[in-house]
Amino acid sequence: MSIPVVWKTPGEVRAWVRALQRRGQTLALVPTMGFLHEGHLSLMREGGRRADVVAASIFVNPTQFGPKEDLSTYPRDLEGDLQRCGSAGVAGVYLPEPSTVYPPGYQTYVNVEEVSQGLDGDKRPGHFRGVATVVAKLLALFRPEVALFGEKDFQQLQVITRLAADLELGVEIVGMPTIREPDGLAMSSRNSYLSAEERQRALGLSRGLFSAQRLAAGGEADVAKLLAAIRQELVKVQAREDYVEIVDSSRLASLSRLESGAPARALIAAFIGKTRLIDNVALPLGAQALS
């Protein structure tokens, strides 16, 4: 395992990318906010299967945080992260300062319209504008063949897929399954905010989602019943619901019934104490095998 090279400026990245292109090597990019866990590493390893070289970015992007959100307290572990990137085969990591990404006078933002609305788009105004802007900048800088994102942030994945297609960036956006702790909790850098007691209560999210998934697999198509099953688990752990919705998987429009052959998704955002967690699962109707 080798520690990846670190770039602090776009100029350094561009020089490295040009050399890579001269050698005819393909590139996979994995953008992150750091405090890396197995979920992030699964994206990096898959990048290594899909391209010759993998690069990552670690940037806690201020424009995707609301004024009352956790920008200043977001967990960081740079040294550990570089080790983890190295162990996942990452060749280089871009670690820009906020003032490098958004220098004085900065005024260009990317707005992906419909899929940025509803769900986190409504609950976190401006969030997806910040996400789309930083991801567009990273894709324009690295010009990767492939970029990998997690289904854990399902709406974000749809926003980025749309953005890459609409701006004709010529990059394949790959969505990767959510990596979970053995007890079902979706891995997240924000899980580090949870006390031991809250960590147990946080299982209400995945339990609710799996319960809806089982009902759908057994043939239950009534969305009201599926939502009730999810909310039952949230109530048990005294989670404060931000939203619970069942939507079609591509447009993210609310559904009242599941239809076979029409991919649907259940999504939750809920507070456990002060920590806001999100999770989601696919809801195949009448499916025999559940993942």
Active-site residue list: 40
Query: Any contact of residue 144 with ligand AMP (CB under 6 A)?
Result: no
The amino acid at 89 = G
Q: What is the DSSP code string of 1-59? A: --PPEEE-SHHHHHHHHHHHHHTT--EEEEEE-SS--HHHHHHHHHHHHHSSEEEEEE-
Half-sphere exposure of residue 52, counting CA atoms within 13 Å on the CB side?
A: 7
Which of residues 202 and 285 has its CB atom nearest to ligand AMP in the complex? 202
Q: Which of 190, 191, 205, 278 is nearest to 236 (CA)?
A: 205
Of the ranges 96-104, 171-179, 223-231, 242-250, which one interacts with ligand AMP (CB under 6 A)?
171-179
**Which phi and psi angles does 247 have, rounded to 5°?**
-135, 165
Q: State which of residues 115, 141, 187, 246 lies at the interface with ligand AMP (CB under 6 A).
A: 187
The β-bridge relationship of strands 92-94 and 5-7 is parallel
Query: Any contact of residue 179 with ligand AMP (CB under 6 A)?
Result: yes
Count of residues of this chain found to bind ligand AMP when the rule CB under 6 A is applied? 17
Judge contact between 278 and 269, C-beta under 8 A.
yes
Residues within window 77-136 making contact with ligand AMP, judged by CB under 6 A: none
Query: Any contact of residue 245 with ligand AMP (CB under 6 A)?
Result: no
Of the ranges 19-27, 70-78, 93-101, 147-155, which one interacts with ligand AMP (CB under 6 A)?
147-155
Which of residues 225 and 274 has its CB atom nearest to ligand AMP in the complex? 274
Query: Any contact of residue 178 with ligand AMP (CB under 6 A)?
Result: yes
| Contacts to ligand AMP by CB under 6 A | 32-33, 39-40, 42-43, 149-150, 152-153, 176, 178-179, 186-189
